[in-house]
């Protein structure tokens, strides 16, 4: 960790040092937004779920334009707009008493989600290059989980449905945490625009559209792999996993909450060690290892459903989240690093937008499929679909390996550690 920190440029240190603080506010509200809309504001549960879906839907719609704007105007400019929208959205949501006002707030939050994701990854890639980039994405992921985990614990202790003011407070606090990146972007990082112009030698077009990028086999396979990985991974965390744990494994909500805590702890504790072990390996092989680990995790959850309601079920649910978290520590450093190594500096926003769209698509499709299977009491089929998805990831990683250049697959070291786009 000391050598990594010493190798980082000053801009990278600024970005990384505040990640946990920025995501603390997100953790305060993420597990409790649906509860707030339904139990505090009195909206029907179906309506509350529909309102929550606006975040993902708007995020998906905005991702493409957000990537284009990142390339044209720079990641910093897009982040300033997106983070401002997030802060305003959370303040509006804190005082929303009607579905229309809540919808407006959630649209603003979704706008930030869609626009800021490709912009933030592009900003990181503008600051950090080479082997440091993969390490950076991994450590950033661990710190994001730390902030969300701590925020979730604090929110769970503080928020009380019988005291509506406590929910107002956590949404306002989430808005205030947005001031941290705004201060960074307007202060120490005001010169890091994250924008690069195309070479003038005529060898590289000034702009490349999304269709042209997707015609590259490496990008297509990486995008498909990201979609499937999200579908069987993060797309199940908010619906499929809790639904299976309650319906098939018959464990308590307390056990489910503890499982998410286990997930956070494993990521925070193991991410640094995992980064050290994978940095000499091809990223596609790391993805294959991740697929095997995730398949084992889903098998453990399936075991919990075979013997429901007892200690074995509880152990299976907790073990699932721990093993799944280990796979996450392999996924998060590799996919964004590969996407940015495939990209050219002046089209980095679009490449990151494609990855973000694949992630959001998987996050939308995952709960839909899980809900259908679990509603029809097809728990065994649900686990089978998840394990099949893991096998598909391994197969796609092998195909991807044939198309991705060595420089983007961890097979060639890049000597430079800073980018001229700063």
Mean pLDDT of 16-40: 81
Task: Kindly give the interhelix angle for 131-158 and 253-278, rounded to the nearest 10 degrees.
Answer: 160
pLDDT band at 413 (very low <50, low <70, confident <90, very high): very low
Domains with residue ranges and CATH for the chain = 1-133+148-194 (1.20.1250.20), 211-411 (1.20.1250.20)
- CA dist 332 and 313 (Å) reads 28
pLDDT tens for each residue of 234-251: 888 867 888 888 888 988
Q: Which of 54-63, 101-110, 193-202 has the highest mean pLDDT?
A: 101-110
* Range with the largest mean pLDDT of 202-211, 274-283, 305-314: 305-314
* Cα 259 to Cα 104: distance, rounded to the nearest angstrom: 33
Alpha helices in 74-206 (DSSP H): 75-94, 99-127, 131-158, 164-177, 179-186
At 271 the three-state DSSP class reads: helix
CA distance 327 to 334: 11
Contact 270, 262 (CB under 8 A): no
pLDDT at 178 over 50: yes
- Asked if residue 108 has pLDDT above 50, the reply is yes
φ, ψ for residue 160, nearest 5 deg:
-140, 120
**247: enclosing H helix or E strand:** helix 240-247
Say what the pLDDT of residue 202 is.
52
- The reported pLDDT for the residue numbered 102 is 95
Q: How confident is the model at residue 419 (pLDDT cuts 50, 70, 90)?
A: very low
Residues 6+ apart with CB under 8 A from 17: none
C-alpha closest to that of 407 among 394, 397, 416:
416
CA 324/CA 301 separation, integer angstroms: 10
- HEC letters along 176-224: HHCHHHHHHHHCCCCCCCCCCCCCCCCCCCCCCCHHHHHCCHHHHHHHH
Q: What percent of the chain has pLDDT over 90?
A: 33
Q: What is the pLDDT of residue 258?
A: 84
Residue 203, pLDDT above cutoff 70:
no
Residues 422, 419: Cα–Cα separation, whole Å? 6
Closest by Cα among 409, 263, 401 to 338: 409
The backbone region for 183, taken as left when phi is positive above 0, alpha when psi lies in -120 to 50, beta otherwise, is alpha
- For the entire predicted model, the pTM comes to 0.79
Read off the pLDDT band of 416 (50, 70, 90): very low
Q: Residue 220 has what pLDDT?
A: 94
Lowest-confidence pick of 16-20, 98-102, 413-417: 413-417
Find the angle CA(332)-CA(5)-CA(422) to the nearest 5 degrees.
80
């Amino acid at each position: 960790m000391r050598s990594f920190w010493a190798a980082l440029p000053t801009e990278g240190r600024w970005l990384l040092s505040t990640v946990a603080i920025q995501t603390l506010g997100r953790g305060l509200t993420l597990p409790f937004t649906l509860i707030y809309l339904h139990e505090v504001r009195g909206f029907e549960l179906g309506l509350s779920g529909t309102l929550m879906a606006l975040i993902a839907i708007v995020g998906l719609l905005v991702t493409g334009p957000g990537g284009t704007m990142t390339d044209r105007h720079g990641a910093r400019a897009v982040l300033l707009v997106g983070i401002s929208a997030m802060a305003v959205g959370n303040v509006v949501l804190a005082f929303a008493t009607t579905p229309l006002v809540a919808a407006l707030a959630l649209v603003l939050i979704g706008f930030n989600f869609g626009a800021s994701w490709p912009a933030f990854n592009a900003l990181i890639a503008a600051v950090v290059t080479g082997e440091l980039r993969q390490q950076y994405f991994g450590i950033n992921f661990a710190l994001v989980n730390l902030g969300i985990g701590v925020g979730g614990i604090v929110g769970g202790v503080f928020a009380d449905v019988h005291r509506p003011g406590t929910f107002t407070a956590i949404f306002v606090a989430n808005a205030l945490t947005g001031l941290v990146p705004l201060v960074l972007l307007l202060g120490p990082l005001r010169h890091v625009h994250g924008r690069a112009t195309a070479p003038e030698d005529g060898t590289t077009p000034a702009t490349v559209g999304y269709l042209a990028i997707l015609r590259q086999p490496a990008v297509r396979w990486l995008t498909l792999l990201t979609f499937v990985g999200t579908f069987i991974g993060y797309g199940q965390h908010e619906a499929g996993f809790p639904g299976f744990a309650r319906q098939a494994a018959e464990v308590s909500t307390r056990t489910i909450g503890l499982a998410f805590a286990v997930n956070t702890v494993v990521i925070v504790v193991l991410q640094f060690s995992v980064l050290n072990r994978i940095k000499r390996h091809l990223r596609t092989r790391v993805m294959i290892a991740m697929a095997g680990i995730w398949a084992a995790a889903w098998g453990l959850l399936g075991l919990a459903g075979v013997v429901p309601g007892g200690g074995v079920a509880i152990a299976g649910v907790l073990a699932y989240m721990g093993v799944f978290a280990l796979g996450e520590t392999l996924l998060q450093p590799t996919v964004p690093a590969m996407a940015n190594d495939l990209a050219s500096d002046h089209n980095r926003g679009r490449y990151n937008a494609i990855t973000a769209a694949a992630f959001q698509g998987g996050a939308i499709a995952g709960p839909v499929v899980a809900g259908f299977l679990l509603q029809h009491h097809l728990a065994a089929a649900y686990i089978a679909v998840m394990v099949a998805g893991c096998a598909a990831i391994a197969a796609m990683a092998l195909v991807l390996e044939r198309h991705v250049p060595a420089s983007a697959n961890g097979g060639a070291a890049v000597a430079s550690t800073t980018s001229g786009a700063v």
